[in-house]
Amino acid sequence: MELEEYRRASREVWEAMAPGWGEWAAEMETANAPVRAWLLRELDPRPGETMLELSAGAGATGFEVAGHLGDDGRLISSDFASEMVDVAQRRGNELGLRNVEYRVIDAERVGLPDNSVDGVVCRYGYMLVADAARAFAETRRVLRPGGRLALAVWSSAEDNPWASIAGRLLVERGQLPTPEPGAPGIFALADEDRLRMLLGDAGFTSVRVQQVPVTFRFPSVNDYVAWATNTAGALAVVLRGFDESERAAFAADLDERFAPFAAGGEYRFPGVAVCTAAS
């Protein structure tokens, strides 16, 4: 797929996912709490600073950042999908946040001046952009001297069965294409050496990488399928096209493959995020 076609299709997918991200926000934030804490610690937001969140989704990571900026600071909560920005703004308004600005921003084309923000945080966004090198260069451009970047991407498929089992099953069934090496996707930046190289090429001179474990919990296979259908990007698009019999067959296959992760009346899936601080 050409990059422009990928950008168009990706925006459509994530616009469609926005309601589900709002609906399942609590479950996703519970699973991702260790990653959110790591990013907050490494970003080290301070009163009066201006912070930019890219690929904010439902906004939870940035909202914690905003809590450290004070009345004189500002968080720019952004996503390239306008429906996601709407979800984040509704949630931010419910929380009573007054130092947050909501904007539609593409990480590859950040419409901000050079040297205009003190920090950038991005959780699970860079791996999905069409051109990660371009996105990192844009991030470096808008950061002030001494500015900080804190990001998270997913490690390998093997480290993240909560995502890879269902994806592999759909590939085996011919309902998803086999991922192309180097193409954008959930595991596109799992290689830490490649991640370091991209950041170095973008002008970051200090890079620190740490693997952070997470756990996804689902009461049943049906709960997993409901979650994936509402939140899981390209995988969700396929699931939404299933009729009742296809959905039942898919769930039955998952039930067999999920067996090793059954514990205490639920399914517990390990995951690993590659968390990175750069400046």
Write down the H helix ranges in the chain.
3-23, 25-31, 33-43, 60-66, 82-94, 132-142, 161-172, 192-201, 221-231, 233-240, 244-257
Q: Is it the case that residue 193 has pLDDT exceeding 80? A: yes
Write down the H helix ranges in 173-243.
192-201, 221-231, 233-240
Structural domains of the chain, ranges and CATH numbers in brackets: 3-157+184-217+269-278 (3.40.50.150)
Helix and strand numbers (H, E) in the chain are 11, 8
- pLDDT by residue (tens digit) across 25-79? 999 999 999 999 999 999 999 999 999 999 999 999 999 999 999 999 999 999 9
* 50 beta partners: 74
* 101 beta partners: 76
Residue (of 130, 114, 274) closest to 203 by Cα position: 114
* Mean pLDDT value across residues 236-252: 95
Which tokens in the block code for residue 172?
């085996």
* 219 beta partners: none
Q: How many CA atoms lie less than 13 Å away from 236 in the CB half-sphere? A: 20
Query: Strand 143-154 and strand 266-278: pairing?
Result: antiparallel
- d(CA 159, CA 143) in angstroms, rounded, equals 32
- d(CA 125, CA 117) in angstroms, rounded, equals 18
Residue (of 84, 76, 83, 80) closest to 112 by Cα position: 76
pLDDT of residue 1: 65
Element (H, E) at 234: helix 233-240
Question: What are the C-alpha distances in Å from 181 to residues 78, 178, 187, 231?
Answer: 28, 9, 10, 24
- pLDDT by residue (tens digit) across 93-140? 999 999 999 999 999 999 999 999 999 999 999 999 999 999 999 999
pTM of the model: 0.96
